[in-house]
Structure formats: C-alpha cells, structure tokens
Amino acid sequence: MPLILGPVLRHVSETTAVVWVQTEEAADVEVLGCSARTFEVSGFHYALVVVRGLTPDTVTEYQVLVDGEQVWPEADSKFPPSVIRTRGPETTDRLRVVFGSCRYPKTGDDKLDAKLGADALDCYATRLTGLPVDEWPDALLLLGDQVYADELTPDARRNLAGHRRRLHGRPADEVVTFTEYERLYQHTWGDPEIRWVLSTVPTAMIFDDHDIRDDWNTSATWRAEVNAKPWWRDRIRAGLATYWVYQHLGNLSPEELAVDEDFRKVLAIDGDCWGYLEQLADRADTEVEGEKAIRFSFRWDLGRNRLVMVDSRNSRVLDSGDRKMLDDTEFAWVQAQMNDGRESLDHLLIGTSLPWLMPPVIADVQSVNERTASRGGIRGRLGEKLRQAADLEHWPAFTDSFLRLSAALAESAGAEPAPATVSVLSGDVHHSYAARADFTDTAGAPVHQLVCSPVHNYVPGFLKPVFKTGWSPKVSRVMRRWARRHGAPELPMSWQNLSGPLFGNTIATLRAAGRRAEVIFEQPDKDCQLDVVAEVALTAERPPPRPVRS
C-alpha cells in the first residue's frame, strides 16, 4: 500500500489547508491539484501538501494521489468521503471544538481492553459518520499523550524484547529509536475510525509527558537523573524528532511553513535527513541562557475566535535553577497572541496539556512542595522524591509561572472590550471537570478551566477520593491556611468546581454561537454510544446547570 498513514487534515484557513501523509516510498503526493515531494527520515517518507485556492465557507471532497495513483479514500471504505471545510464570513461567529487527552491505543488483550473501556474518540468518530457535514466540529484538539512511548501494549513490549535490547542497555518496555516511535504512531493512528476522523476534521496537537516519557521535565533533578542513562540521548532525539514530524509541522499555517528554517532545510536535503533532525532535537532539548531554541507553541484563528496552544512540557526552564513553566521569550510570545486584536474576539481559548487550575487542595500541596524541594538538604531531597512520585508538576508547582499566567488571563478577561469568554483547555489528570475562576480585582469576561482526560485510559481507584476531596470547599479552606503558613503566596483569584470530577473515558465539546458558549462532556457506554454527562454554560446569560451524572 503506497499510503502507510494519513491523510491527516491539519491547519485549515478560509482558502488553504495542510494535509499530512506517510508513504511507503519516496513519492509525489497530490491533493486537489496541489502537490508536494516527500522527505525521508530514517528510511520513512513523509509529505505535507499545502492545498491552496479553496473557497471560503465551502465543503470540498478530496482524494490523495501518490505518484498519480489514488490511495485515499480506500476502495472498500465504509466511511463518508473525507472533506475540507473552510471558514468564511458566513461562519465567522460559529465555533465547535472537540478536545481531550490521554488516548491509549487498543491493545488486543481482552482483559486490558476491558479495563480501558470504550475509546471516546473512536465512538465520537463513529457517531460523526451519521451526521450531516455542517454538524461536524471545526477543530479537534489533542491535548497531550497522543502516544504512550513508556507504557507499551503487551504486543509492543514483546516486539521490543530480546537480545538486541539487552545488548544495547536499552529498556525492554519503552521505545527508544525513531523506527520504534514510527511503529507506535502506526498502531495508535492506524485504527480505522481514528484514521478517518483525522482525515476530515482539522486537528491541532500538543505533546505531554507520555509522548516522551512519564514525568518528562518534572525538575532539574529529574533531568540530571535521566540524562545519566546511556540510552536517553537516543530516546529524547527520537521523541522530539517524531513529534516534529508527526505532530508539530501540521500545527503551522502555510505561511509559517514557508518561512520555517528547519522545514525548509529538511526539504532541501537530498536523501535521509535524520542527521539534521538529531541536531534539531538537541537544540529543542537544550537551554541556552535560560531559553529554549525551538518554539512548539502555536496559534490558530477560528473566525472571531482564537486558540493559543501553549507548550508546557518542552518550554520549561529547569537547568539554570530559575524554575519556569515557559521561558521569558516564550511567555511573552504567548501573551502577545492572547492580546493581539482581542477587541475583535468572541472567545479566547488557551490550550495547555497541564491544567492551570487544579483541585484547590492539590494546587496548594504542589505550591508548598515546590518550596520544599528547592531548599536542599534532607527536606529538599524528600520533597523532590514526593514531587516525582506524586506527579506534583502542574502549573501550581511552578508558582511564578502560575501567577504570571493568572495575571495574563485576568488582563485578557478584564480588557475593554474583552472576549465574551476566556477558557483554558487541558488534559493529563485522568479526570474531567469545569471550574470557574473569580479574580479578586477584575470584573470582566468569565474565565474557566476545562479539563477532559482521559479519552481512552483509566484512573486507579484509590485516586478517585483524592480528586473528590481536592475540590472540597471545607478541606480547601484548611489547606489554604496551611499553605500560607508554609510560604505559599496569596492568590489573585479563587476558583470553584462547576462540574465533576468526572471519571471514565470522556470527550468534550466547546460550542459557541456569537457571544454565547457552553461546554459538553460525553462518555461512551458499553455499546460505544455517547451520553451527555455534564453541560456547563460559559457565558452569563443563564446559570450553569448541574452535571447530569458523575
């Protein structure tokens, strides 16, 4: 089969679209009369086809041709045709965004698959096949853990085991090389329903830790420990290079691709460009004077609405000792995208794989733990052990960055004029919720934290009461006093839970029409039918309803 993976529909504007594919051999790939030559990485072949000349507010069926042969849609496809749906003046104030994170692939192990339950995105794709195109979402946001490079399926572990792994001192249950990552993406994205939905809904992606390794960039101590492993340099190069190829490039608009120096150099290489991508990965992983050399954050404009996706994993500053979730240049860029033309925005969406607002009790624990872990000595070492063991590394565990993001959100919400809503979309934590922030000194647009996780995974039973207790108002008040006594700063806002915590596989949809917006959480039943489990209004025209069930 000339087409190994894809097509994946990525950035779409009023007149352009970007289509990503992986082919079996070097080839010319064509979509709607526009073509691109593949580039080669470690013997694998990829292309990004920029489709130009589309008409605003239209729906256009498309086919993929490889060296003149039609390879998509497949001849025996049971799915509707893949289409490119552009925005324009007629849809500028409408928005339907589907989002979620943490999608573990089907394993083929009956017991494990039963434990994981029905894949919410798979079920959503199945439902989509029976809906009119004008009811399809405008964008799909995958907010991290698109692949699990460190938690492999039983079959994947068996494929990696053996003499070669032991000989090279590599772990038998984690991918290390580009080739092993390539197999992982094939397995994860090759599911027929997922492959189809990615071909027809514009998809934005950002990575989280499992795309590289659990607890990736938790702290400087973590980085020092993992960098000492003899196989880690191969692993981080492969992980960042595959992310750049499979996920990052498609986040860019045609205009951004045209001026991206790394992409231009890769296209100019005659033959395998793995050597160049090794250097790119090293640059992405290395701090130079407290900053990272490559930006993975990006912006999508969706009519009168905007998504600013924030890289809250690789942009961290740790090695210098000045702990930040984002370096100063990166944060200034993010804030500039939030403020640019905000007077014309209806809704501002901030995507970050890690939640900005955690359950208040957990947020205070993370804030205090950060101070303890940075002290040194026995208490510092114990604090660091707790930080890594309990995954205490979300935004509240980077206190300065947490307060800086809070101030930026308050500024956007309090501007005059301001967007109707400001929403932070996140995943990672294996439970879903909607929370509203109430800023002490700002009256403006409502600001919400919307978390959808997991799409297909599970949360250990012992953690469910922990998350529930984390939202308890009574326990939160006690913990806030405790945190203040232990040096945690005064906060510029409080926040309350409007829905959740919801446990189980979940897919969320943010819907907006003009200045009104709401979020809907849905979960699949055993027959893969999606049921609404919570619905929350994000604007003030009507009070938020209570969750249907939790």
Domain annotation covers residue 73: no
Query: Which range of residues forms the domain containing residue 266?
Result: 95-537
Which of 426, 423, 451, 453 is closest to 120 using CA atoms? 453
Distance CA 475, CA 363 (A): 12
Give me the pLDDT at residue 441, please: 72
| Closest C-alpha among 279, 265, 423, 456 to residue 352 | 423
Higher pLDDT, residue 396 or 156: 396
Task: For the chain, give the mean pLDDT.
Answer: 93
Residue 321's pLDDT band, with cuts at 50, 70 and 90, is confident
Nearest CA among 531, 458, 532, 507 for reference residue 122:
507
Spatial separation of the C-alpha atoms in residues 534 and 532, rounded to whole Å: 6
Does some domain include residue 68? no
| Domain-located, residue 65 | no
Q: Using CB atoms within 10 A of its CB, is residue 74 exposed (0-12), middle (13-18) or buried (19+)?
A: middle
pLDDT at 289: 83
Spatial distance between the Cα atoms of 314 and 336, rounded to a whole number of angstroms: 20
Distant-in-sequence, close-in-space partners of 78: CB < 8 Å, separation ≥ 6: none
> Higher-confidence residue: 371 or 375?
371
Q: What are the tens digits of pLDDT across the range 455-472?
A: 999 988 889 999 999 999
CA atoms of 333 and 335, how far apart (whole Å): 5
- Cα→Cα distances 522→13, 197, 286, 507, Å: 28, 17, 40, 5
**What is the sign, positive or negative, of the torsion defined by CA atoms of 144, 146, 152, 153?**
positive
Q: Say if residues 386 and 455 touch (Cβ distance below 8 Å).
A: no
Residue 263: its pLDDT value, please?
Answer: 98
Enumerate residues 6+ apart whose C-beta is below 8 A from 269.
Answer: 39, 276
What is the percent of the chain with per-residue pLDDT over 90, rounded to a whole number? 85
Per the structure, the count of domains in the chain is 1
Please report whether residue 285 resides in a domain: yes
Q: What proportions of the chain, in percent to the nearest 5, are helix, strand and coil?
A: 35, 25, 40
Is residue 94 scored above 90 in pLDDT? yes
The pLDDT-based confidence of 500 (bands split at 50, 70, 90) is confident
* Banded pLDDT at 543 (limits 50, 70, 90): very low
Is residue 327 included in any domain, yes or no?
A: yes
Query: Contact 111/154 with Cβ under 8 angstroms?
Result: no
Average pLDDT over residues 249-263: 98
pLDDT band at 165, cuts 50/70/90? Answer: low
- Of the candidates 483, 366, 350, which has an alpha carbon nearest to the alpha carbon of residue 424? 350
Residue 322 domain flag: yes
Tens digit of each residue's pLDDT (9 = 90 or more) over 489-498:
999 999 999 9
**CA dihedral sign, ordered 501, 334, 326, 398:** negative
Note the pLDDT of residue 288.
87
How crowded is residue 281: how many other Cβ atoms within 10 Å of its Cβ?
A: 22
Residue predicted with more confidence, 87 or 375? 87
Give 249's DSSP letter.
G
Which residues does 420 contact at the CB level (< 8 Å), separation at least 6? 346, 347, 445, 515, 516, 517, 539
Q: What is the pLDDT of residues 433-451, one digit of tens each?
A: 999 999 987 678 999 999 9
Which span out of 161-175, 369-383, 453-467 was modeled with the highest average pLDDT? 453-467
Asked if pLDDT for residue 108 goes beyond 90, the answer is: no
Close Cβ partners of 238 (under 8 Å, ≥ 6 residues apart) = 175, 176, 177, 178, 180, 181, 281
What's the full length of the chain, in residues? 550
Band the pLDDT of 168: cuts 50, 70, 90: low
Residue 33 is assigned to a structural domain of this protein:
no
The CATH number linked to 457 is 3.60.21.10
- Give the end-to-end CA distance of the chain in Å, rounded to a whole number: 45
Determine if the peptide bond prior to 7 is cis (ω within 30°).
yes
Label residue 407 by pLDDT band (50, 70, 90): very high
Task: Please tell me which residue, 500 or 443, carries the higher pLDDT value.
Answer: 500
**pLDDT tens string 198-218:** 999 999 999 999 999 999 999
CA distances from 453 to 223, 365, 373 (A): 26, 21, 28
Q: Is residue 35 predicted with pLDDT exceeding 80? A: yes
Say whether 99 sits in a helix, a strand or coil.
strand
268 part of a folded domain:
yes
Model pLDDT, residue 546? 41
